[in-house]
Homo-oligomer: A and B are copies of this chain.
Amino acid sequence: MKFNNLNIRISPSVQIGKNVKIGDNTVIYDNVILEDNVIISNDCVIGEPLNSYYRDRDGYENPKTFIRENSLIRSHCIIYAGCQIGANFQSGHRVTIREYSKFGANCSVGTLSDIQGYVEFGDYCRLHSNVHIGQGSKLGNFVFVYPYVVFTNDPTPPSNLCVGPQVGDFSQIATGTVLLPGIKIGKHCLIGAASVVSKDVNDFMLALGCPAKEIKNVYQIRDRDTGISHYPWPLHFDRGMPWEGIGFDEWMKRDD
């Protein structure tokens, strides 16, 4: 249904792997590399030219953009030139990823999310819908970010400073939370919904509130009925994770 070669425009400099599909009304600009089995759905823009293109069209050379193998970009996404999108990436609709953002493997980004450029993601990061990641942010591996979370980066707006937040491996940032500029969140943390994180958060801590305070170790978050803690979550959740079927502890051993 979606791949009929209608109103598609692909620059002659685009490199296209095997078994790539491109949806109707999609444009792919100069110097994009689409690896094997990539699907770009309809109405997308890949390799969107940088600002300087508007000022100097003749001297402009679009930086290389990599979409690694097996990635699925859903409709109406804009991915700027200079990005590196890791293997097995999945996007929702209307995602905007600005220049020189770098995703590891197996990441996903939900509908309407807006990555402001110069952001680094590890492997297996998941951004849900409508997440905003300011320039210069850095996320580890297995970081999940829920809807309407904002990573900010200017401590004294407006200024020329740009200090993005950093989030460690396995941490979860719940819906509607604002991370203030430059704060560092450790590994395996859980940040509660609608928090404002203004100070660093230590590994394995639950933090929440405005401003967010460390409440307890995530091992101590107990289910009211069962008394069991769901955290650290990799011990209790494996769908789509590399420890699926074998268990997190076992996988960690193999990984060493």
Could you tell me which A residues sit within 8 Å of B by CB distance?
A: 1-2, 4, 6-7, 9, 11, 24-25, 27, 29-30, 39, 42-43, 45, 48-49, 53-54, 62, 72, 75-76, 78, 92-94, 96, 111-112, 114, 116, 126, 129-130, 132, 144, 146-148, 150, 152, 156-160, 172, 174-176, 178, 180, 193-194, 196, 209-210, 223, 230-231, 233, 236-237, 239
Contact = CB atoms under 8 A, between A and B. Distances in A.
Nearest to A240: B158
Contacts of A76: 76, 78
A193 B172 contact: no
B45 A42 contact: yes
Contacts of A239: 158, 160
A147 B133 CA distance: 10
Contact of A114 (B6, B129, B209): B129
Given A1-B29, A49-B1, A132-B129, A178 B193 contact: yes
A148 B146 contact: no
